[in-house]
Structure 1
């Protein structure tokens, strides 16, 4: 799973409540534009969010141009 914050339609409005911001606090405070998760990591983040332990991923990709 590739999370590209630069193309997220929720950027700015929901960053503070997104798991990407939660996971990258203090680690990369100025570079939150792109995070890559493998399938196992994405499943783990989803499980943590479903349990209420971390905020969910708020990524909303824009529709693809035809």
Structure 2
């Protein structure tokens, strides 16, 4: 899973409650998470230790070949 804050449709309004912003401070170049890391973040979020990933991608950008790299859980 690639996360690119620049392509998130709720960037700004969703950042304060997004696990990426909390843990990484909104990385400028995005971040890539594998399935194990995603599962770990889900467990932490379910336990109330970190917020959930608040990503909303524009599927048209992704389908058009742009780097829609941030996916919601």
- TM class by smaller structure: 0.7 to 0.9
- TM-score scaled by length of structure 2: 0.74
Runs of 4+ in 1 over 4 A off after TM superposition: none
* TM-score under structure 1 length normalisation: 0.81
Q: How many residues align?
A: 62
Give unmatched runs, 5+ long, in structure 2.
Answer: 65-73
Indicate the residue corresponding to 1:50 in structure 2. Answer: 46
CA RMSD after TM alignment: 1.8
CA contact (8 A) 1:2 1:34 kept: yes
Name structure 1 gaps, 5 residues minimum.
none
